[in-house]
Structure 1
Amino acid sequence: MGAPLDPRSVPAALRDACDPLAACAEDAGLNATHVSEQALVAGWLVRFANSRAKRARSVNAIGVGTALSFAERLQRVDALYAAAALPTTFRITPFSQPAGLDDMLAEQGFLAFEESRVMTRSLDALPARIDGSAPIHAVDAREFAETAGHLYGDAPARIAVDVARALAFPARGLRLLLGERDAPLAVGCILFDGRMAGVYGLHTRADVRGRGYGARLLLELLHGAANAGAAHACLQVGAANDPARALYRRTGFGDRYAYWYRAREIE
């Protein structure tokens, strides 16, 4: 079981960062995790796919909603998650509606956990690409999702969900595999949402970490996005993932806002 989180420990500036660039990054992240298993309940986007990404199996409270009371909405949400055999989980962001939702959920016994940071950077003045002997291949959505799932160690059923999700994503993007295709070292993708480019699924095989593969792949993705006309990049990373956050800071990313999850039991 994960550790509980006190949201008051999150810097105030990252809990209230509702600037336009943060809003673009939030939209890009929600669009990139589009799933067919979803419903809109009085302003709450309820997603209940058995995906690795919690954004695809949690409530994103994007609208105030006046048709139902808080209790009625929660009852509807609980029924959807029960039918999907998933725990009722909320993703809490600076954009969550109504105001005070986090406190309302706490009063209902929902525990906070897993703080994440959304980081952004301009795509101007990118660091130079990193040379290396391992080849980099552009791959399609299916190969990317399957390879990423295997590197993460996901179960076949979850990989199948994420393959379907990747195939259904309508926007342009760049998906890269570093290493031989039958023995990948790292994978990552960047998806375009207007002039915002979101980095997702950047993952290095556990036994070859610390060799610069992630940095090399990240810079390839950023240069590809800049060449395609994107102006900014964003990514989402666990607040406690110090190695990844150090890489992103070295590559010019900075924290834009934070989010966390609430559920009756911590994953």
Structure 2
Amino acid sequence: MTGAAHVETIERATLAAVAPEEVLEIDGWLVGLDPGSIRRAASAVPLRHDLPADPAVLDQIEAAYVQRGLKPAFRVADDPGLEAVRAELARRGYAFEQPTLVKTAAAGAIAAVTDRPTAEIADRPDDAWAAVFLGEGFDPVDGAYRVKALSRAPGGRFGMVRDGGRTVAVGCGSFGHGWVSFHGMRTDLSRRGEGLAGRVLAGLANEALARGVDRAFLQVEEKNTPARALYRRAGFAQAWRYFYWSKPA
């Protein structure tokens, strides 16, 4: 499902979903310019996994960040075709961290991940949806920014599982470039392990199928083993892995 031809559409859909304040396109790179805490929205990503390391292009990208008072950052797949790019970043003093997996699946498989009632779907997030991001166990500043960014992304749909009038699990599905992508998956700390996230995924996948969209992707930190286990059950397979590159403080 995710050969080289899909890299560009996935990256464009990712930036559309996390809605940076500004996006530039510089010679094969998509450059997210944003002061917030969503790293995908605040880093430059290659649109191909066989991109040469052009120092002049990297200079332009760095300058775009500096001109806006932002710290230059990149997210680069560890595919062999980007080895020269990674070497050039290392030469410039960048270090890499936070291995993250891009995973893809068919929406039909995701919809079958649970046999319980699926999440309610809304056009806009309400206060109860946002409150899950601000609850115990989450960084309230980061949570508030993520709610703001996901809310302004065009075409987003918002899934929620409620129990007794209280919202206990949420997520966002964003539609674009032929994909549905999943973002902002959160479950109330006291309710984890109950299969609620699967109900959110299934509800958003059903929304995708109703729109005739069967290609889905998400991104998950490699260390997040509980989420990865759920995504495996939902049919997700790894497309590639990337790291964030930045200069140490």
TM-score range, shorter chain: 0.7 to 0.9
Deviation sequence 1:53-73 (CA, Å, 0-9, x none) = 211111224487999825632
Equivalent runs, 1:1-267 vs 2, <5 Å: 18-41=3-26, 43-62=28-47, 69-70=56-57, 72-73=59-60, 75-80=62-67, 83-84=69-70, 87-93=71-77, 100-125=84-109, 126-127=111-112, 129-131=114-116, 136-143=119-126, 146-147=130-131, 149-151=133-135, 152-155=138-141, 159-160=144-145, 162-163=147-148, 165-171=149-155, 173-179=156-162, 183-265=166-248
**Shift in alpha-carbon separation, 1:220–1:21, aligned structure 2, 3 A:** same
* 1:153 Cα deviation from its structure 2 partner: 2.6
Q: TM-score, normalised by structure 1?
A: 0.75
Give the Cα separation in 2 of the matches to 1:140 and 1:33.
Answer: 16
* 1:92 Cα deviation from its structure 2 partner: 0.8
Q: Give the aligned partner of residue 3 of structure 1.
A: none
Contact 1:22 1:256 in 2 (8 A): no
Contact 2:11 2:47 in 1 (8 A): no
Deviation sequence 1:14-48 (CA, Å, 0-9, x none) = xxx75234443233212212322344455543323
* 1:225 Cα deviation from its structure 2 partner: 1.0
**Shift in alpha-carbon separation, 1:51–1:18, aligned structure 2, 3 A:** farther
Contact 1:61 1:97 in 2 (8 A): no
Give the Cα separation in 2 of the matches to 1:212 and 1:167.
Answer: 25
Q: Give the unaligned 5+ runs of structure 2.
A: none
Give the Cα separation in 2 of the matches to 1:129 and 1:190.
Answer: 17
What letter matches 1:79 in structure 2? V
Give the Cα separation in 2 of the matches to 1:194 and 1:181.
Answer: 37
Q: TM-score, normalised by structure 2?
A: 0.80
Q: Percent identity between the aligned chains?
A: 23
Q: What is the DSSP-based 3-state SS (H/G/I as helix, E as strand, rest coil) of the residue aligned with 2:159?
A: strand
Contact 2:29 2:47 in 1 (8 A): yes
Range 101-110 or range 67-76, more displaced: 67-76
Give the Cα separation in 2 of the matches to 1:28 and 1:71.
Answer: 23
**Shift in alpha-carbon separation, 1:265–1:143, aligned structure 2, 3 A:** farther
Contact 2:38 2:146 in 1 (8 A): no
Pairs aligned (count): 242
**Shift in alpha-carbon separation, 1:228–1:147, aligned structure 2, 3 A:** farther
Q: What is the DSSP-based 3-state SS (H/G/I as helix, E as strand, rest coil) of the residue aligned with 2:19?
A: coil
**Shift in alpha-carbon separation, 1:186–1:99, aligned structure 2, 3 A:** same
Contact 2:33 2:65 in 1 (8 A): no
Contact 2:37 2:145 in 1 (8 A): no
Q: What is the DSSP-based 3-state SS (H/G/I as helix, E as strand, rest coil) of the residue aligned with 1:155?
A: helix
* 1:198 Cα deviation from its structure 2 partner: 0.6
**Shift in alpha-carbon separation, 1:122–1:137, aligned structure 2, 3 A:** closer
* 1:170 Cα deviation from its structure 2 partner: 2.6
Q: Give the unaligned 5+ runs of structure 1.
A: 1-16
Contact 2:119 2:202 in 1 (8 A): no
What letter matches 1:215 in structure 2? G
What letter matches 1:106 in structure 2? A
* 1:195 Cα deviation from its structure 2 partner: 3.0
